[in-house]
Amino acid sequence: MATKPPKGDPVQDAPQVTEPKHAAAGLPAIGHTLRIAQQQMGVKRTALTLLRVNQKDGFDCPGCAWPEPDHRHAAEFCENGAKAVAEEATLRRITPEFFAAHPVADLATRSGYWLGQQGRLTHPMYVPEGGTHYEPVTWERAFDIVAEEIAALDSPDESVFYTSGRTSNEAAFLYQLFARELGTNNLPDCSNMCHESSGSALSETIGIGKGSVLLDDLYQADLIIVAGQNPGTNHPRMLSALEKAKANG
């Protein structure tokens, strides 16, 4: 069973500064990760879910885009990835009663962390013109509202169909088909926000907008230069690749 979401907002509370840690992984990180996951998913769901992260018969972690190696460990994820999975697979639920108790003006003052900790939506929610609270609506009404807004556009190009780079191929196909049938190709996704600059630079430099190497190339590299980031905090899963590269000399 998941625990209740926090009432206070730690992002807005006074920060607590402690001594720097000497390691980015190890038993303390494992214990902290399991505690956070258990709070969101309960003990059983935590075990069943985390054992499927980045596995061949499981699902991709939403935390980052680090590729999966051919040989995968039982725990093929990092601390941040486990937390991201826990928030997605949480057993906490946000019901209409929550929105009745929290007007839009109140929600606007909350941090993204606090909002995410409350749980998953149980109903489509809508703020009518002049309204002060989100109100539950049926799925039929939600689709009608979207259709009315689209029909009122002067041009299909006034619409933007933003989606996630994690969307399944089937869902992405239907989504882009709908947009093109409407008459627009405004189809950005989160990859544009994350990697537009790197993709443009790679296209100009090597002619393709994505990396041209495999994980095995990193394992066998004679020299690895890391600039502008700390793998232990920014890309923890890279530590496994660096460990293999070190073992290879």
Per the listing, tokens 């489509």 go with 124
Residue range 178-230, pLDDT digits in tens: 999 999 999 987 777 777 888 889 899 999 887 788 888 999 999 999 998 88
Distance CA 241, CA 22 (A): 20
The residue among 135, 125, 136, 187 whose CA lies nearest residue 162 is 187
The Cβ of residue 249 has, within 10 Å, a number of other Cβ atoms equal to 6
3-state SS class at 235? coil
Distance CA 135, CA 137 (A): 7
Q: Is the pLDDT of residue 24 over 70?
A: no
Distance CA 116, CA 8 (A): 13
Q: Is the pLDDT of residue 114 over 80?
A: yes
pLDDT of residue 215: 87
Per the listing, tokens 């000497």 go with 22
- Is-contact 98 49, C-beta < 8 A? no
Torsional class of 228: left (φ above 0), alpha (ψ -120 to 50), beta (otherwise):
left
